[in-house]
Amino acid sequence: MSANTRVDIRIRKAKVADAAGIARVQIDTWRSSYTGIVPTEHLSGLSYENCESRWNDVLTTNRADVIVLVAETAEDEVVGFASGGPEREKNSVYLGELYSIYILREYQRRKLGRRLVVAVSRFLLSVGLCSMLLWVLKDNHPSRRFYESFGGEEVSKKDILIGGASISEVAYGWKTIANLAD
């Protein structure tokens, strides 16, 4: 699909039956975005079945304070997703967290990411979480530009282990997300 192709994509709350579609987007997007950042053997060893099983658990649990959204084509193909809920490391400033956001490469840069962030922000506000942070791989520069495009400020950093390699992450924070949800 060329960069100018118009796509009719809807954003909706994920159902348990979306676990396989979400896993496909997550693994395919990891592979297309993280090559050169995350060890190749780790990327090639990722299992669609294991990933689907984890999403199946999340979607079956269906926590009231956690949201999973999918971006879906008119042909019912999941091409992106995002999830969010309470911040997970007891941060005293940032109450909500964008846990994940992934869009298949051929659907990137069509404002789907922006639409997903708006939808997650609205949900976080609706459950009383009025600020947000997220973690991104330090060398994932395109995504960092994306977060900076709507005012994210670098607020923390840490190293994590992925596939046996120590990889740096940075956190972006928004002290209020009222304007993101507009």
Ligand X SMILES: CC(C)(COP(=O)(O)OP(=O)(O)OC[C@H]1O[C@@H](n2cnc3c(N)ncnc32)[C@H](O)[C@@H]1OP(=O)(O)O)[C@@H](O)C(=O)NCCC(=O)NCCS
Interface residues with ligand X (CB under 6 A)?
29, 33, 101-103, 108-114, 136, 140, 142-143, 145-146, 149
CB 28 to ligand X: min, Å: 10
By C-beta, is 29 or 131 nearer to ligand X? 29
Spell out the long-range contacts of 115-120 with Cβ–Cβ below 8 A and sequence spacing 24 or more: 115/11, 115/71, 116/11, 116/69, 116/71, 116/80, 116/81, 116/82, 117/82, 117/150, 117/180, 118/180, 118/181, 118/182, 119/11, 119/67, 119/69, 119/82, 120/67, 120/69, 120/82, 120/83, 120/84
CB 59 to ligand X: min, Å: 20
By C-beta, is 29 or 121 nearer to ligand X? 29
Please give the residue whose beta carbon sits closest to ligand X in the complex.
113
CB 49 to ligand X: min, Å: 21
CB 89 to ligand X: min, Å: 16
By C-beta, is 112 or 124 nearer to ligand X? 112
By C-beta, is 102 or 123 nearer to ligand X? 102
Between CA 163 and CA 45 the distance in angstroms is: 10
